[in-house]
């Protein structure tokens, strides 16, 4: 099972994999295991299409738990966890904290949540 949690090249091979992904960087000096393309954007940032390391989990439950632990363990997401009852506010806060490099990440995530009626979690 895959996750959107980054891994390190030094992590055990069985717990990581290379994924093709898009990254947005402030300059053209970003480094990744494999750069497929890079192009400057009108806003001065750089779009990179790369292969980067992501965590790999044995099953969906472990992946969801690992993702949750990642957010809880990293203090930069404290403001997001404070609004975890509001999915849209949570999306905006994790983005502000640096969860994704795309400048429109929160907007895109909220759009998907609205299209699929994923605004709340019932336990």
**How many CA atoms lie less than 13 Å away from 60 in the CB half-sphere?**
0
pLDDT in tens, 24-62: 999 999 999 999 999 999 999 999 999 999 999 888 898
Nearest-angstrom CA–CA distance, 99 and 23: 12
Mean per-residue pLDDT of the chain: 90
What is the number of other CB atoms lying within 10 angstroms of the CB of residue 92? 19
Span 15-20, mean pLDDT?
A: 93
pLDDT of residue 12: 94
Nearest-angstrom CA–CA distance, 7 and 10: 8
């Amino acid at each position: 099972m895959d996750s959107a949690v980054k891994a390190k090249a030094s992590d055990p091979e069985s717990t990581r994999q290379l994924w093709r992904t898009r990254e947005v960087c402030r300059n053209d000096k970003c480094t990744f295991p494999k750069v497929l393309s890079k192009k400057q954007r009108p806003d001065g940032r750089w779009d990179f299409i790369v292969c980067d390391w992501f965590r790999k989990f044995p099953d969906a439950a472990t992946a969801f738990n690992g993702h949750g632990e990642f957010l809880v363990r990293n203090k930069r997401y404290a403001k997001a966890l404070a609004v975890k009852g509001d999915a849209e506010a949570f999306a905006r806060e994790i983005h502000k904290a640096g969860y994704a490099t795309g400048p429109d990440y929160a907007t895109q995530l909220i759009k998907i949540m609205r299209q699929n009626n994923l605004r709340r979690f019932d336990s």
